[in-house]
Amino acid sequence: MTYTDYAKALQEDLVHLRRDLHRIPEIGLDLPRTQERVLAALDGLPLEITLGAELNSVTAVLRGTGPAAAGVHAPKQAVLLRGDMDALPVVERTGRDFAAEGPNMHACGHDLHTAMLVGAARLLSANRGRLAGDVVFMFQPGEEGNDGAGRMIREGVLDAAGPRVIGAYGLHVMSDKLPRGHFVSRAGTFMAGADEILVTVRGAGAHGSRPHTGKDPIPVACEMVLALQTLVTRKFDIYDPVVITVGAFHAGTASNIIPDDAAFHVTMRSFSRESRAKLLDAVVDLLNGLASAYGTSVDITYKEQYPPTVNHAADVDFLEEVVREIHGEERFSRIPNPNPGAEDFSRVLEEVPGTYAFLGACTREDFTTAPSNHSPLADFDDSVLGDGAALLAELADRRLARG
């Protein structure tokens, strides 16, 4: 039997687990109920389990008992499979009978990722006698802005089996943009890097009728917002683009009062390490220069998020080969451009070779009209769970066999 055949027998259990997780969404690094469900789902499998210290992570190691790959000597090699587990602070409006109640929702499909990784653990555990090495299962909290991957790396997830893993693989479901059951990836930059800046312009308050007696921070902040867009088009190569968006702007309390301060919040996206470094320096120089020109000052607080997610070309070739063989020629394609979203699996791919891919899980035939990930209406089709689990298992098995 193939992993795809085994996965069909698991499908009902995986749907039950996914919907159970969907009802109890937890955000950030503290996911006690989610961790409890994962541990229960893994109970009885021949896994070495370690829990996180900084976060409610689960690292599970499966020791393969098959013959080592040709030419590979002890200690056996290991590969890593990852699934993130955290939800979002979004109030669900899908109307599903298993919808979450309260302020949080699995609006990005991480409940499916967790269920698929549990499925892969079960598939590989049942076939450990054919594994030419070990598998590390990375159940990760805190992907949504909390750098859970970075924390797990610091706690040793990449070395959990002993030797550092030789490959790492992950999947992300999409509620729109892709046909149901279709896999996509690309070599090189697959997703953008992301960083944030909080900017506060310090002026001097005055009466609105006598602006010359103060230092109005609002027009200075407004000019900064506009100048940031010019910076994008005049300082950066159009073939290595950056995106700057001001998503929040706060100033003042009344129409006739010039405030002391004005503040705005920026997200910055970049598609290469070089542009990411250049962008931060250029933005800081621009904001300081404008503040000085108007006789004000500026406080700039930088919040590093994630570097670009860069797939290794050989592993994308490997992924394509496996998907086409086990799921069909028509179910894989390469996207021409990176996705502008960000992902902390990038931390893993900075350390070891591997690849990340998207899996269409749209509930509609016309995926172009479906609500996107992070929407309160985001909905995901459970039918993809078995196929995702089978692919993860197959990738781990074959990568170990290759050595």
Model confidence pLDDT, tens digit, residues 232-272: 999 999 999 999 999 999 999 999 999 999 999 999 999 99
Rounded to the nearest 10 degrees, what angle do helices 217-235 and 273-293 cross at?
150
Give the CATH number, domain containing residue 266. Answer: 3.30.70.360
pLDDT at 73: 57
pLDDT at 70: 52
For residues 314 and 329, membership in a common domain is answered with yes
pLDDT at 360: 98
Number of folded domains that form the chain:
2
More confident residue, 34 or 68: 34
pLDDT at 261: 98
For residues 8 and 105, membership in a common domain is answered with yes
For residues 9 and 146, membership in a common domain is answered with yes
In single-letter form, the type of residue at position 344 comes to D
Q: ∠ CA(127), CA(132), CA(111), 5° rounding?
A: 55
Q: Name the 3-class secondary structure at 372.
A: coil
Distances (CA, A) of 264 to 145, 267, 276: 19, 10, 20
For residues 225 and 152, membership in a common domain is answered with no
Instruction: Retrieve residue 207's tokens.
Output: 């009466």
Q: Using pLDDT thresholds of 50, 70 and 90, give the confidence band for residue 403.
A: confident
Give the CATH number, domain containing residue 348. Answer: 3.40.630.10
For residues 76 and 186, membership in a common domain is answered with yes
Tokens 């590979």, residue?
72
Report the percentage of the chain scoring pLDDT > 70: 98
| Peptide bond connecting 75 to the previous residue in cis, omega within 30 degrees of 0 | yes
249 exposed, middle or buried (CB, 10 Å; 0-12, 13-18, 19+)? middle
- Domain-ending residue, one of 245, 278, 306: 306
Instruction: Retrieve residue 97's tokens.
Output: 């009978």
For residues 37 and 175, membership in a common domain is answered with yes
In this structure, the strands spanning 309-311 and 242-251 are unpaired
Distance CA 279, CA 242 (A): 8
For residues 328 and 279, membership in a common domain is answered with no
Q: Please write the tens of the pLDDT for every residue from 357-400.
A: 999 999 999 999 999 999 999 999 999 999 999 999 999 999 99
For residues 241 and 328, membership in a common domain is answered with no
Q: Using pLDDT thresholds of 50, 70 and 90, give the confidence band for residue 68.
A: confident
The residue range of the domain holding 52 is 3-191+308-402
The answer, yes or no, to whether residue 139 has pLDDT greater than 60, is: yes
Question: Measured in whole angstroms, how far is the alpha carbon of residue 121 from the centre of its chain?
Answer: 21
- Contact call for residues 58 and 34 (beta carbons, < 8 A): no
- Contact call for residues 346 and 310 (beta carbons, < 8 A): yes
The answer, yes or no, to whether residue 332 has pLDDT greater than 60, is: yes
- Domain-ending residue, one of 271, 306, 341: 306
For residues 123 and 252, membership in a common domain is answered with no
- Domain-ending residue, one of 306, 333, 349: 306
**Of 20-34, 55-69, 157-171, where does mean pLDDT reach its minimum?**
55-69
Q: Please write the tens of the pLDDT for every residue from 175-189.
A: 999 999 999 999 999
For residues 99 and 227, membership in a common domain is answered with no
Instruction: Retrieve residue 323's tokens.
Output: 């998907």
The answer, yes or no, to whether residue 75 has pLDDT greater than 90, is: no
Which strands make up the sheet holding 134-140, listed edge to edge? 47-51, 58-63, 134-140, 78-84, 167-174, 354-360, 183-185, 332-334
Which residue from 385, 319, 388, 326 is spatially nearest to 354, judged by alpha carbons? 319
Mean pLDDT of all residues belonging to the chain: 96
Average pLDDT (164-171) is 98
For residues 174 and 210, membership in a common domain is answered with no
Q: Please write the tens of the pLDDT for every residue from 279-312.
A: 999 999 999 999 999 999 999 999 999 999 999 9
pLDDT at 1: 80
Which residue from 14, 19, 22, 17 is spatially nearest to 104, judged by alpha carbons? 22
Which residue from 246, 138, 245 is spatially nearest to 192, judged by alpha carbons? 245
For residues 40 and 153, membership in a common domain is answered with yes
Instruction: Retrieve residue 100's tokens.
Output: 């979450």
pLDDT at 67: 85
